[in-house]
Amino acid sequence: MKISYHGHSVVVIETKKTKLIIDPFITGNGQTDLKVNDVKVDVILLTHGHNDHVGDTVELAKRNDALVVAPFELATYLGWQGVKTHPMHIGGSYEFEFGVVKFTQAFHGSSYTVEEEQKIIYMGMPAGILFSAEGKTVFHAGDTALFSDMKLIGERNTIDVAFLPIGDNFTMGPEDATIAAEWLQAKRVVPIHYNTFPVIEQDPIEFAENLSGKKGVALQVGESIKL
């Protein structure tokens, strides 16, 4: 399994047979190295409905005939846009041909903003994602605050790599994310959701170096790790 980071919260997972992308915010993302027209994916996983996470989902899904897996309300909305979806919700898991997806809780918001209409559309609960395939488990926390049930997630799952937001202001900052890393007991921890906007500027290298056990990995945009 190959996992690569592409700025903000964009993560690409490649198994032997399937290519997945999580929260494909590409257009308008000054941190990413991806171009929408070049992205080829089979599955899109979404943590919540904010614009900087839904991103280019509709265009990517239609161009690639990709399946979108998302919390129920968000999946329903995207289905109305002509996208093929599989709705799920927090606590539920489903075994697909490409692996097992389980949604965990996240403490955040979830809505889609239509700026030209000054309208905010409720998209249900935000979530984190546990993805398991080929004997490995990846945890993408989505946008979230620190919460004590991260201990339970760590106790019940052997997490090979966890992607944790460190930007502060909208999510956990580095100090809380450090605690989250300890509770999750992940073998490797990669910081996400930082430096895209001035209000979430952080030092990912410092965060990674401060984690115990040398498990912090501050991936540069476009870099990958293999499990």
Kindly report, residue by residue over 168-196, the tens digit of the pLDDT. 999 999 999 999 999 999 999 999 999 99
Order across the sheet with 99-105: list the strands: 93-96, 99-105, 127-133, 136-140, 161-165, 188-192
What burial letters (b/e) apply to 33-44, b meaning 16+ CB within 10 Å? ebeeeebebbbb
Domain ranges for the chain: 2-219
pLDDT tens digits for range 37-86: 999 999 999 999 999 999 999 999 999 999 999 999 999 999 999 999 99
**Confidence class for position 21, pLDDT limits 50, 70, 90:** very high
Q: Which CATH code is given to the segment(s) 2-219?
A: 3.60.15.10
pLDDT tens digits for range 103-130: 999 999 999 999 999 999 999 999 999 9
Predicted structure pTM score? 0.97
What is the DSSP secondary structure assignment for residue 42, as one 8-state letter?
Answer: S
Q: Cβ(158)–Cβ(33) under 8 Å?
A: no
> How far, in Å, are 7, 11, 191, 194 from residue 219 at the CA level?
9, 11, 8, 12
Q: Cβ(30)–Cβ(23) under 8 Å?
A: no
Query: Which residue shows structure tokens 């460190």?
Result: 166
